[in-house]
Structure 1
Amino acid sequence: MIALNAHSIAQTTPTGDAIAQAVTAGWALGPVAHCVLLRRGFNQVYELRFESGQHAIARLCTERPRGEPNLAYETALLMHLRAQGVPVAAPWPAADGSFSVVLALPEGLRSLLLFDFLPGDPPGELLADIEATGQGLAQLHDAAQTYGGPPSRYTLDLPLLLDASLDRMIAAPTVDAALGREFSALADGLRARFAALPGLTRVHCHGDCHGSNNFMSDGPHGASEGRRVAAFFDFDDAGPGLLAYELAVYLWVLLPRSLETPLSATVLERWHRYLAGYTRVRAIPAADLAAIAPCLAVRQFWVMGEYAGRIPVWGTQAMPTHWLRKQIPLMQSWMNLPTAEGLVAAESATPIATAQ
């Protein structure tokens, strides 16, 4: 038998039963009737049902490349948003009054939190739901303006999103010296673009509003009134930062991942409706619209940096060299998209709605 120390373990995955035991010990909610792992991604997420009938989501925080979890800011922001009437998955206080308990696992200490279970489904391809998502995000930004709780550990700006991501990528075994130089040159170009865009709007960002971190439900007057409501969850990447980056995240997930695939009328219409929903509540200054294009590339840098930081858990094949080489021309094409004009609706050839 060979014994491994804690530093030799990248990440363990507790069973649903283990999480149920931890929740029973840490929260005064009674016995857990059911607990199952929902997904294993940036964090490990579990669904719980209590014998009392309560329904919750548990998140076991993993080691993030950026550093410690941003729990004090995240939980305080969520409680502020809920108090302001914004539909969010708020945290549940543990028995000691805090919002997390610490589990001692083979790799070290990790925080466990409980959140509201949100019913519904992601907006998907439904245009009314996409527009409601944009509107809900704007309402979230408005409500967060009065937040005065603990400061965030992290700011969603170039040092975190671009510079730190680039450093992790260059250190990855699948990035050779030539590829590293190409990525570094692209990052230099992005810094120059942002230097020419001073005074960008800053908000308290959700940080990962790509269309799968909010669920849709009917408003108080029902779907027949066309009033859909977006409820947001997974604020693990929340923090103060650039509005342009926050908005770019949804466009980023819509864009084709191949230079040979043109932007379709369907993609452009979804983006149009997303911006229309947002601007029904908040204006988007022209400079912020212009900054969305470079933010698309910044978002891709951030994703690749996250993958690079997870090689001990996910392996090198999560970001193979041949895939990385394709990202440079793709990001360069994104940087040249006409987001200053809101892009162009394919069918009508009219500018997408921006703030008046």
Structure 2
Amino acid sequence: MARITKYVPIISSTLAGQTLLDRLLPDYSIERPVECTFLYQGCNDTYAVRTANGPSYVLRVYRHGWRTFPDISYEIDALLHLVRKGVSVSRPIPATDGRIIRELPTLEGNRYAVLFTYAAGQELSFKNHEPRHLGRALGTLHHSMDDFYSPHRRAMIDWDHLIDIPLKRLEPLFTHRRKDWMYVRRLSERLRHEIDGLVLRDQGFCHGDVHEWNVHISNSKAITFFDFDLCGIGWRAYDLATLRWSARWAARETKVWGTFLKGYRERRALPPADLRAVPLFIGIRHVWLMGHHAGETQYRGQAIFRDLHIDRHLTFLRGCEKDYLRRRTGARR
């Protein structure tokens, strides 16, 4: 029997918060950090940084291979542009040598790290007028990014990102459910065809993941955006759809969407074709999410994509088809 005499390769490590506290955080001109707590693991690892007497911070350690240096540089450029425009975001903090993106040697390869200010406030509950405040803030964000430019390359939020790559990831997980696989593929193409038939006028920088877990609201109703990891150039209607998708998934679409849209239109016009595309993008967003989860199985295990989860995803997609696609088809007859 062969013996393992060298380290077994790994695909993802979790860095010790104490090591980051001792070796990385002293390189920043902030109040003395006293605690670095592992907070959350998604595509990246997030740590909460507490200082002795000052503000808190968030340290993001990007997963090896998830983002390139130019990818992250683009994200940083976007955040600094928004800061200059007066939009409230979780701001990147440079180290004492001026570098914002730090490179850390780990067992699987080098990983990048960025320290951010903590977003003031708390998660949205969507009570009272909170969706309207969020709509206004997103309208302001889109307007502020109309003149944004970065010399760094970043993947577009296009059909390759939203449909083609997700479907390639999904197909191997549907080998035992070919009928359901054909349904997902056909529905994706129908939604793409419907949107391609619209002339969408508003394209530009998108946050890419607008929902209640990526924004905070203060007591004065000020909105602060964070987690721009999925940002890029795309259809602004898709950015709006990510919020509406989240509200539908939480069974509060009716309560949230109208108020949110009213707030958005107070800050930015939304062309009729773009508005018609928003509900279609909800299904597209969900196909993307399914593909994203399929890609995550190598990190989190096949258990995140069991038949129970597939059933729930299909129920959501069929609801979108019924509410948004069949109504449109019937309206054209």
After TM superposition, the score normalised by the length of structure 2 is: 0.88
| Higher mean displacement: 291-300 or 144-153 | 144-153
Partner of 1:106: 107
In structure 2, C-alpha distance between the alignment counterparts of 1:175 and 1:213, rounded to whole Å: 35
- Structure 1 position 24, deviation (Å): 2.9
What do the CA deviations read for 1:68-114 (whole angstroms, capped 9, x no partner)?
36211110110010111000011011233221111111121111100
In structure 2, C-alpha distance between the alignment counterparts of 1:177 and 1:63, rounded to whole Å: 33
Partner of 1:199: 200
Change in CA separation of 1:244 and 1:335 when aligned onto 2, cut-off 3 Å: farther
What do the CA deviations read for 1:17-57 (whole angstroms, capped 9, x no partner)?
12213423543447421110111122111111234634211
Say if 1:152 and 1:239, in contact at 8 Å, map to a contact too.
no
Say if 1:174 and 1:321, in contact at 8 Å, map to a contact too.
no
In structure 2, C-alpha distance between the alignment counterparts of 1:174 and 1:60, rounded to whole Å: 35
Partner of 2:281: 295
In structure 1, C-alpha distance between the alignment counterparts of 2:318 and 2:276, rounded to whole Å: 15
Say if 2:121 and 2:219, in contact at 8 Å, map to a contact too.
no
In structure 2, C-alpha distance between the alignment counterparts of 1:191 and 1:169, rounded to whole Å: 17
In structure 1, C-alpha distance between the alignment counterparts of 2:263 and 2:276, rounded to whole Å: 19
Change in CA separation of 1:43 and 1:134 when aligned onto 2, cut-off 3 Å: same
- The aligned amino acid for 2:185 is S
In structure 2, C-alpha distance between the alignment counterparts of 1:197 and 1:336, rounded to whole Å: 20
Partner of 1:79: 80
- The aligned amino acid for 2:231 is A
Say if 1:162 and 1:302, in contact at 8 Å, map to a contact too.
yes
In structure 1, C-alpha distance between the alignment counterparts of 2:146 and 2:121, rounded to whole Å: 27
- Kindly report which structure 2 residues correspond to 1:125-204, keeping only aligned pairs within 5 A, or say none: 125-172=126-173, 176-204=177-205
What do the CA deviations read for 1:238-282 (whole angstroms, capped 9, x no partner)?
11111111011111112157xxxxx6xx64132111111101111
- The aligned amino acid for 2:222 is V
Change in CA separation of 1:338 and 1:284 when aligned onto 2, cut-off 3 Å: farther
CA RMSD of aligned residues (A): 2.5
Bigger helix fraction: 2
- Kindly report which structure 2 residues correspond to 1:43-122, keeping only aligned pairs within 5 A, or say none: 43-51=44-52, 53-63=54-64, 68=68, 70-122=71-123
Residue 279 of structure 1 pairs with residue 265 of structure 2: yes
Partner of 1:354: none
In structure 2, C-alpha distance between the alignment counterparts of 1:50 and 1:78, rounded to whole Å: 23
Partner of 2:243: 250
Say if 2:174 and 2:181, in contact at 8 Å, map to a contact too.
no
Name the SS of the counterpart of 1:20 in structure 2.
helix
In structure 1, C-alpha distance between the alignment counterparts of 2:293 and 2:183, rounded to whole Å: 18
- Structure 1 position 198, deviation (Å): 2.7
| Higher mean displacement: 189-198 or 132-141 | 189-198
Say if 1:169 and 1:175, in contact at 8 Å, map to a contact too.
no
What do the CA deviations read for 1:277-300 (whole angstroms, capped 9, x no partner)?
101111111111111122111111
| Higher mean displacement: 308-317 or 120-129 | 120-129
For structure 1, the 5+ residue unaligned runs are: 220-227, 258-262, 342-356
Residue 313 of structure 1 pairs with residue 299 of structure 2: yes
Partner of 1:347: none
What do the CA deviations read for 1:322-351 (whole angstroms, capped 9, x no partner)?
432443353143144359x9xxxxxxxxxx
Change in CA separation of 1:82 and 1:255 when aligned onto 2, cut-off 3 Å: same
Q: How many pairs were matched up?
A: 323
| Higher mean displacement: 41-50 or 275-284 | 41-50
Partner of 1:15: 16
Change in CA separation of 1:335 and 1:247 when aligned onto 2, cut-off 3 Å: farther
Change in CA separation of 1:4 and 1:286 when aligned onto 2, cut-off 3 Å: farther
Say if 1:204 and 1:239, in contact at 8 Å, map to a contact too.
yes
- The aligned amino acid for 1:17 is Q
Change in CA separation of 1:322 and 1:338 when aligned onto 2, cut-off 3 Å: closer
Say if 1:201 and 1:243, in contact at 8 Å, map to a contact too.
yes
Change in CA separation of 1:20 and 1:175 when aligned onto 2, cut-off 3 Å: farther
- The aligned amino acid for 1:247 is L
In structure 2, C-alpha distance between the alignment counterparts of 1:79 and 1:3, rounded to whole Å: 48
Change in CA separation of 1:146 and 1:80 when aligned onto 2, cut-off 3 Å: same
- Structure 1 position 301, deviation (Å): 1.2
Name the SS of the counterpart of 1:47 in structure 2.
strand
- Structure 1 position 175, deviation (Å): 6.2
